A = this chain, B = another copy of it.
Amino acid sequence: MPNLTMIEAIRMALRQEMRNDDSVVILGEDVGVDGGVFRVTDGLLDEFGPERVIDTPLAESLIGGCSVGMAIYGLRPVCEMQFSGFSYLGFHQIESHASRFRRRSQGRFQIPMVVRMPYGAGVRALEHHSESKEIYYAHTPGLKMVIPSGPRKARALLLAAIRDPDPVIFFEPKAVYRAFREEVPDREEVFPIGESEIVREGKDLTMIAYGAMLHRAMEAAELLDKEDGVGAEVIDLLTISPLDDSKFCESARKTGHVVIVHEAPRSFGAAAEIMARLIEKSFYYLEAPIERVTGFDIHIPYFAREQEYLPSRDRIVSAARRTLEK
């Protein structure tokens, strides 16, 4: 099994599925000759040619809207927004069209498109390059919203996303892009959209995270284990919408204590919906207030202070202790 970074794993998924299915095309800014600003699509132009790996003009609405048209015709476009912070220029094509064509045509047209984009902080980038606004997509009916946390899942989820008959927004945690390697099987591996995963078992506390923050949650869990003897169950959401509430609700029924971690701003963020589901489905098992460890309700500061903005292992630990003390 090759040992891959997330970038390589995503490229692997793209390459394998493009070999598999000639309806898969890639489009975006600098995805061809340049191989993408993070080199995710490196080499694909050479293998598949400029008609399938399309360098578009600098126009996000074009990228989104053109993908909708391609999908209507029967292609499976995988388009790239260079950074999630620029995807808003094409937001209306996603909200008003990608998510609605099946409905609007009463099933005649489906939109099997994927919108890939790097999101999140941690790579010392410029303004707009560190955003985590998955809610804009997660709150939009008709879309699926996926955020992998490591290479292997990224590959398996991207395959699922490309094959999905409906539009999938695929956020790639850029802080994880080159952070570590994982064994990724050469043979096809697909992970279903809409399923979360228990990545660490524990009976004292439920921790829910996704994307780059999963790793901080894991570090916090290890520390809690070592220093406090607390067994934290860690759940990797993987799909934000449709949200898999079965695993975390069950875990909370067991532990009674919950900490949720994400780097997006707190108010109206994903943690709120998770808390709502916990109230709806595990209310009587909750023993203490659920804790949110998230980005603050401010614009993420420029990179000199981005680590202070991001939930740190220690902030997570401190929140965990707070809820366990209650």
Contact = CB atoms under 8 A, between A and B. Distances in A.
Interface of A: 85-86, 88-89, 91-92, 95-96, 99-100, 103-104, 127-128, 133, 135-136, 138-142, 241-243, 264-265, 267-273, 275-276, 279-280, 283, 286, 288-290, 292, 297-299
Contacts of A103: 298-299
A265 B104 contact: no
Most buried by B among A104, A141, A288: A141
B268 A279 contact: no
Contact of A288 (B99, B269, B283): B283
Contacts of A100: 127, 299
A298 B103 CA distance: 10
Contacts of A286: 279, 283
B276 A292 contact: yes
A243 B267 CA distance: 9
B271 A276 contact: yes
B273 A267 contact: yes
Contact of A268 (B104, B272, B289): B272
Given A92-B88, A135-B135, A267-B138, A289 B298 contact: no
A67 to B, nearest CB: 16
Contacts of A86: 92
A290 B282 CA distance: 11
B92 A268 contact: no
Contacts of A89: 92
A32 to B, nearest CB: 24
14 contacts: A88-B92, A99-B299, A100-B127, A103-B298, A104-B127, A135-B268, A136-B136, A139-B268, A141-B298, A141-B299, A243-B267, A272-B272, A276-B292, A279-B289
A103 B264 CA distance: 18
Contacts of A297: 141
Contacts of A289: 279-280, 283
Contacts of A272: 268, 272-273, 275-276
A104 B301 CA distance: 10
Contact of A88 (B96, B104, B273): B96
A276 B67 CA distance: 37
A235 to B, nearest CB: 18
A289 B286 CA distance: 11
A282 to B, nearest CB: 9
Most buried by B among A135, A286, A298: A135
A139 B136 contact: yes
Given A103-B298, A133-B139, A272-B273, 13 more contacts: A85-B96, A100-B127, A100-B299, A133-B140, A135-B268, A136-B136, A138-B268, A139-B267, A242-B267, A268-B272, A272-B272, A276-B290, A279-B279
